Amino acid sequence: MSKNNFYIETYGCQMNLADSEVVAGVLNGKGYEASNDLNNADIILLNTCSIRENAEQRIYGRLGNLKKYKEKNPQTVIGILGCMAERLRKDLIEDKKMVDLVVGPDEYRRLPELIDAALHGEKGISVKLSRTETYDDIIPYREDGLSAWISVMRGCDKFCTFCVVPFTRGRERSRGLDSIVNEIKILSDRGFKEVTLLGQNVNSYNDNGNDFADLLAACAVVDRSFRIRFSTSHPQDLSDKLLYTIAEHNNLCNYIHLPVQSGSNRILELMNRTYTIEHYLDIIDKARKIIPGVSFSTDIIAGFPTETYEDHLATIDVMQKVRYDGAYMFKYSPREGTKAFKMEDDVTEDAKTKRLNEIIDLQQSISYELNQNLIGKEEIILVEGFSKKSDQFMAGRTDTNKVAIFPITESVKPGDYIKVKINRATSATLFSDYVGMVSDRNEKAQLTA
Ligand code: 5AD
Ligand code: SF4
């Protein structure tokens, strides 16, 4: 067995997936080799998430069953990366002695030396957060593919009262525009077809006066047939300029992930979200006027401290007004160190479950109805490969991130942009027929107009 194989397992959000590629980029340059096989790895790294309580419990569970690898090969180095590092380093390294390395999200450049030391039996902790680290110059390690992620900013300064991110990932900082544009060029040359620009709050991107709209415009012109997505937007920072920029460039997806969290102004204030629901709905209206065919997804928390059934109904009301294409829906869980942690977690588990289920059921029926409205319409999709459920079908995604499947067609291969006509739909999948190749992504405008 080679001494230098590393295996990374990633938990949590897309930012973590992007970070794992940065980590692999750092290690690859220093003589370590990426492995997809846990059994063939000397170094096992878990890139962790802290956002909700169950995310941390999952990691503890996983560490429990990784013990057997260490028993088989005591030389194996087990490391914790990412958001759990700062919060739980003492517990993980000193108290439970479960891991050899704990490395926070801003210290990945130090991984080669820390791993080297760990391979010689020294435990390592490195969890300092930085005000400047953006890994600008690190080329992330990616296998060939169609879709990639790029982190365009790190950290968050919003301090929503329920959220650990400002504590686990530190202050907001933006990566340089030129280095992002350059990475998109490299991806396009390698045959990638799509990128998602990531940040906890991409709308506050700022590189020497270039804002997020400037960044998107610069990315859009690199390769007109390259599809560009982005996530996540905070309602407070979403500018008109950004909406006009999305409308102007056909390869910027008409899709905005705009977390609302709650429909109740009282709860929004307790959450420190810094907008009212009226303001939020105004943004949605404006976006719909400026960007024809735009769709939205959101995040919702059920059962924040003091939430009454009336507050919950206000959330239901917003969902009915906006009619999101999709939603990530969570029960509130108190996170140590946050402001909300000091509030009494007074909504009972039963009430949280009931409210969450109502929210999920409503979203499912809205998704179903929105998808029914697409029957008979044409959509452009990026073909990704075979359908997961049947090898008679291929699958791709629309600009609004919906999965569409169509019968295998000889002339169509992964990476093609094609036009399909929707003939049937569930809440999760569009069933379609092949219509034709799209040679020019600029056709999108005519389809969605
Ligand atoms: N409890 C429940 N959901 C949370 N989120 C963040 N923190 C918490 C928490 N303490 C959700 C928010 C956020 C998404 C990424 O995770 O909805 O937008
Ligand atoms: Fe957390 Fe709020 Fe920042 Fe999102 S905007 S990462 S919810 S603090």
Percentage helix, strand, coil for the chain under 3-state DSSP, each rounded to 5: 40, 25, 40
Ligand at shortest distance from the CA of 328: 1
Q: Are strands 393-398 and 403-407 parallel, antiparallel or unpaired?
A: antiparallel
> Edge to edge, what strands does the sheet with 326-331 contain?
255-257, 295-302, 326-331
For the CA of 257, the nearest ligand = 1
User: Is 132 a member of any domain?
Assistant: no
CB–CB of 237/261 below 8 Å?
Answer: no
For the record, the structure tokens of 397 come out as 């995604």
Let me know whether 324 and 242 are in one domain: yes
Give me the mean pLDDT over the 182-202 stretch. Answer: 96
Angle CA 78–90–8, to nearest 5: 25
Ligand at shortest distance from the CA of 260? 1
Q: Evaluate: CB of 328 within 6 angstroms of ligand 2.
A: no
CA-nearest residue, atom 5 of ligand 2: 158
Which residues, listed in sequence order, are joined to residue 148 by a DSSP beta bridge? 195
Residue 102 lies in a domain: yes
- Residue 131 inside a domain? The answer is no
Confidence band of 440 (pLDDT split at 50, 70, 90): low
Q: Is 423 among the domain residues?
A: yes
Tell me if residue 379 falls in helix, strand or coil: strand
What's the pLDDT at 446? 39
Ligand 1 pocket test, candidate residues 56, 280, 301, most atoms within 8 A of CB: 301
Amino acid (one-letter) located at 163: C
Residues 162 and 227 in one domain: yes
Read off the pLDDT of residues 294-322 as tens digits, 9 standing for 90 and up. Answer: 999 999 999 999 999 999 999 999 999 99
0.85 exceeded by the pTM?
A: yes
Q: In whole angstroms, give the CA distance from residue 43 to residue 4.
A: 8
Ligand 2 atom closest to residue 273's alpha carbon, by position in its atom list: 2
Domain match, 9 and 58 both: yes
Q: What is the mean pLDDT of residues 406-420?
A: 94
Q: In percent, how much of the chain has pLDDT > 70?
A: 97
- Are 281 and 217 part of one and the same domain? yes
In a domain, 271, yes or no: yes
Rounded to an integer, the average pLDDT of 152-166 is 96
Sheet bearing 147-151, strands edge to edge: 147-151, 194-198, 227-231
- CA of residue 192 to ligand 2 center, whole Å: 30
pLDDT above 50 for 216: yes
Tokens 């680290």, residue located: 133
Do 28 and 94 reside in the same domain of the chain?
yes
- The answer to whether residue 189 scores a pLDDT higher than 70 is yes
Instruction: Report residue 442's pLDDT band, with 50, 70 and 90 as the boundaries.
Output: low
Residue of the CA atom closest to atom 17 of ligand 1:
299
Yes or no: say if 169 and 154 are a contact pair by the CB < 8 Å rule.
yes
Residue 422 inside a domain? The answer is: yes
| pLDDT tens sequence across 249-266 | 999 999 999 999 999 999
Predicted local confidence at residue 285, as pLDDT: 98
Q: Which range of residues forms the domain containing residue 215? A: 147-372
Are residues 422 and 335 located together in one domain of the fold? no
Q: Residues, the chain, total?
A: 449
161 in ligand 2 pocket by Cβ < 6 Å?
no
- Asked if the model's pLDDT at residue 203 lies above 60, the reply is yes
- Please give the Cα distance from 269 to 385 (Å, whole number): 45
pLDDT of residue 70: 85
- Mean pLDDT value across residues 350-364: 98
Do residues 124 and 104 touch, judged by C-beta distance below 8 A?
no
Q: Which of 92, 126, 160 is the last residue of a domain?
A: 126
Domain end marker among 372, 401, 431? 372
**Distance of CA 228 from the midpoint of ligand 1 (Å):** 25
Dihedral sign computed on CA atoms, order 273, 276, 282, 284: positive
Q: Residue of the nearest CA to atom 4 in ligand 2? A: 200
- Segment 167-175 mean pLDDT: 96
Query: Ligand 2 centre from 188 Cα, in Å?
Result: 31
Q: Six-digit token pair at 403?
A: 């999965």
Higher pLDDT, 196 or 29: 196
Residue 219 shares a structural domain with residue 257 = yes
What pLDDT was estimated at residue 444?
46
- CB of 158 closer than 6 angstroms to any ligand 2 atom: yes
Q: Record the tokens describing residue 58, joined without a space.
A: 């999952």
Query: For 31-49, what is each residue's pLDDT tens digit?
Result: 899 999 988 899 999 999 9
Q: Is 368 in the same domain as 297?
A: yes
Which is the closest atom of ligand 1 to the Cα of 163? Answer: 7
Output the average pLDDT for the chain: 93
pLDDT, one tens digit per residue, over 369-392 is 999 999 999 999 999 999 988 889
Q: Given the CA of residue 164, which atom of ligand 2 is nearest to it?
A: 1
Check if 200 has its Cβ closer than 6 Å to any atom of ligand 2.
yes
Atom 14, ligand 1: residue with shortest CA distance: 299
- To the nearest 10°, report the CA torsion of 226, 231, 235, 236: -90
Question: Tokens for 66?
Answer: 């990784």
Q: How close is the Cα of 114 to the center of ligand 1, in Å? A: 32
pLDDT of residue 121: 87
Task: Please state, in angstroms and rounded to a whole number, the distance separating the CA atoms of residues 9 and 24.
Answer: 11
Both 261 and 159 in one domain: the answer is: yes
How many Å from the N-terminal Cα to the C-terminal Cα in the chain?
Answer: 58
The 3-state DSSP class for residue 346 equals coil
**In sequence order, what are the beta bridge partners of 420?**
379, 434
Final residue of a domain: which of 126, 158, 177?
126
In the reported structure, the alpha carbon of residue 54 is separated from the centroid of ligand 1 by a whole-number distance in angstroms of 12
Q: Which ligand is nearest to the CA of 335?
A: 1
Of ligand 2's atoms, which has the minimum distance to the CA of residue 234?
A: 5
Query: Are 326 and 195 contained in the same domain?
Result: yes
pLDDT of residue 397 exceeding 70, the answer is yes
41 and 76 Cβ atoms separated by less than 8 Å: yes
* Banded model confidence at residue 447, pLDDT cuts 50, 70, 90: very low
Q: Closest by alpha carbon to 375, among 396, 408, 402? A: 402
Q: What average pLDDT does this structure show over 339-344?
A: 98
- How many structural domains compose the chain? 3
Is ligand 2 within 6 A of the CB of residue 165?
Answer: yes
How far CA 98 is from CA of 107, 138, 319, 368, 419, in Å, comes to 20, 30, 43, 45, 51
Residue 183 lies in a domain: yes
- Return the amino acid letter for 95: D
CATH number at residue 324: 3.80.30.20
Pocket of ligand 1, beta carbon within 6 A: 51-52, 162-163, 259, 261, 299, 301, 330, 332-333, 335
Band (pLDDT 50/70/90 cuts) for residue 449 is very low
CATH (domain of 45): 3.40.50.12160
Q: Which pair of tokens denotes residue 51?
A: 């956002």
Q: Which of 93, 111, 399 is nearest to 228 (CA)?
A: 399
Q: Using 50, 70 and 90 to split pLDDT, how confident is the model at 333?
A: very high
Annotate 283-309 with b (16+ C-beta within 10 A) or e (fewer). Answer: bbeebeebbeebbbbbebbbbbbebee
Contact 160 CB / ligand 2 (< 6 Å): yes
- The neighbour count for residue 388, using CB atoms within 10 Å, is 11
